[in-house]
Amino acid sequence: MSIVVRFLGSMGQRVVTLVEEVGQMGLLFNRTALQVPRLKPEPVAVQMIRFGVRAIPIVVLVNLFIGMIVTVSISEMLRQFNQLNSVARVNAVAVTRELAPLMTAIVMAGFAGAAIAAEIATMNVNEEILALEAGALSPIRLLVLPRMLGVCVMMMCLTLIAMVVGMFGGYVVGTLLLDIGGPTYIDLNNNAVKWPDIPKGLVKAVAFGVIITMVACRQGLKAGGGAIGVGKATTNAVVISIVLIIAANLCFAILFYWTLAGV
């Protein structure tokens, strides 16, 4: 019984800590939004290149495999119902509605979130952030805002690329392994995708970008304890980001495809 009590206590403490972190990230987001009028475009462009353009190869590779995996996984079941051609519809819907923004966000949590957390944590440990504040310069405006906007903008671009690549992965499997005609597959794929699904995926992408950057910046700004603190901040940034991204994806799924399904 004592083991169960300790386990439940530990889990409760972790939940409380996570809720507190979410609250602190909300405050950080509010402070960041207030700095938007003072934004300069050059730092945002630099972050877009760092965390967007350089992430294209890994995002393409991951989503290509995801499209292939989905098509292969559902093909046998659909074959039993004599609906093999429907793999095109299922893959298209799964990729555009859920998998493209979700998998892109998870990749970016490791690619951008870890880097942002490590950079800001290192600056914090070396008292560079304190030096900025002593010089009447805002760390939020100089460090957090450009990274948040750069990641959010590129999340939309990467999500669009991921949608196309994911559907192409299904096309490759469908035409080469399942003997579905190329024109037939493309026609079924295009008819399955509804135009409202595209902006819904982009809304998710922006929200996931905010989560990634707010978590990473929050972990970096509160880091301490030298190299160990930097490593802990980086690890926490990736783990917390992935948990919050999946939770947010559930909320969006309920909102878009249940609450607003008839709107």
54-79 average pLDDT score: 92
52-74 average pLDDT score: 93
Residue 126: pLDDT band (50, 70, 90) is confident
Q: Residue 51 and residue 208: Cα distance in Å, rounded? A: 14
| Residue 93 forms part of a structural domain | yes
User: E strand or H helix at 88, and its extent?
Assistant: helix 87-94
- pLDDT tens digits for range 204-222: 999 999 999 999 999 988 8
Residue 1: pLDDT band (50, 70, 90) is low
The whole-number pLDDT of residue 75 equals: 87
The whole-number pLDDT of residue 164 equals: 94
| Residue 14 forms part of a structural domain | no
The whole-number pLDDT of residue 241 equals: 92
Q: Are 187 and 87 in contact (CB under 8 A)?
A: no
Which residues touch 71 (CB under 8 Å, ≥6 apart)? Answer: 87, 91, 169, 170, 173, 174, 178
Report the percentage of the chain scoring pLDDT > 90.
44
Which candidate, 250, 218, 249, places its Cα nearest to that of 234? 218
- 17, HSE (Cβ side, Cα atoms, 13 Å): 9
Q: Is the pLDDT of residue 224 over 80?
A: no
Q: Where are the alpha helices (DSSP H) in 126-258?
A: 128-134, 139, 145-176, 182-192, 197-221, 226-254
What are the C-alpha distances in Å from 240 to residues 62, 73, 212? 21, 29, 9
Overall residue count recorded for the chain in this entry? 263
Residue 71: pLDDT band (50, 70, 90) is very high
Q: Residue 235 and residue 220: Cα distance in Å, rounded? A: 11
Q: Are 159 and 201 in contact (CB under 8 A)?
A: yes
| Residue 18 forms part of a structural domain | no
| Residue 2 forms part of a structural domain | no
Domain encompassing residue 243: 23-256
| Residue 174 forms part of a structural domain | yes
pTM of the predicted model, to two decimals?
A: 0.88
| Residue 149 forms part of a structural domain | yes
Which candidate, 146, 144, 145, 155, places its Cα nearest to that of 220? 144
Q: Structurally, how many domains does the chain consist of? A: 1
| Residue 17 forms part of a structural domain | no
The whole-number pLDDT of residue 263 equals: 52
215-240 average pLDDT score: 88
- pLDDT tens digits for range 137-155: 888 888 899 999 999 999 9
| Residue 240 forms part of a structural domain | yes
